[in-house]
């Protein structure tokens, strides 16, 4: 596998991670992905919420969590409270409901800041990949495995990949920022 292919795969992985991270950020609407990072203690061990229950959004500002085993409803409620997602779960017989509160301007700004922080983390990851790949190319040049003109072309191509993936991170975050800011 060439250095360029490795760089592209690793940069794509950084962008995919950003997409997953941005899904968990709260917007004004209920989104089942908000609960992706929630773990629940059931059957004596920690499990991800989506492994023990289904999550749906029957209304724009409500999440409905239906446990696969109805006896886990209260444990799911406690796990959601511990996760501190900004909403209080309501255990209602065999299901758990979460009413997503209206976000005020200050909360929206905090969510936008969080999205920007996640974007910067992804861009730093992309830049680390660039640095590592350029170091590999320079090592190959020093070892005499590739000529200088190929080294320069590879470095230029890696930089172009970096620029493309950094722009993609900006674009993805801009869409999320628009979602957060929409009332």
Number of structural domains found in the chain? 2
Domain boundary among 99, 126, 151: 99
Note whether 85 and 111 are same-domain residues: no
How much is the pTM? 0.75
Domain boundary among 66, 82, 99: 99
Q: Average pLDDT for residues 5-29, to the nearest whole number?
A: 88
Long-range contacts of 61-64 (CB under 8 A, 24+ apart): 61/28, 61/29, 61/30, 61/99, 61/100, 61/102, 62/30, 62/97, 62/98, 62/99, 62/100, 63/30, 63/32, 63/34, 63/35, 63/97, 63/98, 63/100, 64/95, 64/96, 64/97
**Side-chain half-sphere CA neighbours of 47 within 13 A:** 15
Domain boundary among 61, 77, 99: 99
Note whether 11 and 47 are same-domain residues: no
Q: What is the CATH number of the domain that holds 142?
A: 1.10.132.20
Range of the domain at 177: 3-23+104-181
Residues 6+ apart with CB under 8 A from 124: none
pLDDT at position 183, please?
A: 65
Average pLDDT score over the chain: 88
Q: Average pLDDT for residues 2-18, to the nearest whole number?
A: 93
């Amino acid at each position: 596998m060439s250095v360029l292919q490795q760089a592209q795969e690793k940069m794509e992985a950084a962008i995919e991670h950003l997409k997953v991270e941005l899904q968990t950020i709260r917007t004004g609407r209920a989104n089942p992905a908000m609960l992706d990072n929630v773990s629940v203690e059931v059957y004596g061990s920690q499990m991800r919420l989506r492994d023990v229950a289904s999550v749906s959004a029957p209304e724009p500002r409500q999440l409905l969590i239906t446990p696969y085993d109805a006896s886990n409803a209260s444990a799911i409620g406690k796990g959601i409270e511990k996760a501190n997602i900004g909403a209080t779960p309501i255990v209602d017989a065999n299901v758990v409901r979460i009413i997503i509160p209206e976000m005020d301007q200050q909360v929206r700004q905090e969510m936008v800041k969080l999205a920007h922080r996640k974007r910067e983390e992804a861009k730093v990851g992309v830049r680390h990949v660039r640095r590592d790949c350029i170091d590999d190319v320079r090592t190959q040049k020093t070892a005499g495995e590739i000529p200088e003109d190929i080294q320069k072309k590879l470095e230029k191509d890696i930089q172009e990949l970096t620029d493309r993936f950094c722009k993609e991170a900006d674009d993805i975050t801009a869409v999320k920022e628009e979602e957060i800011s929409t009332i």
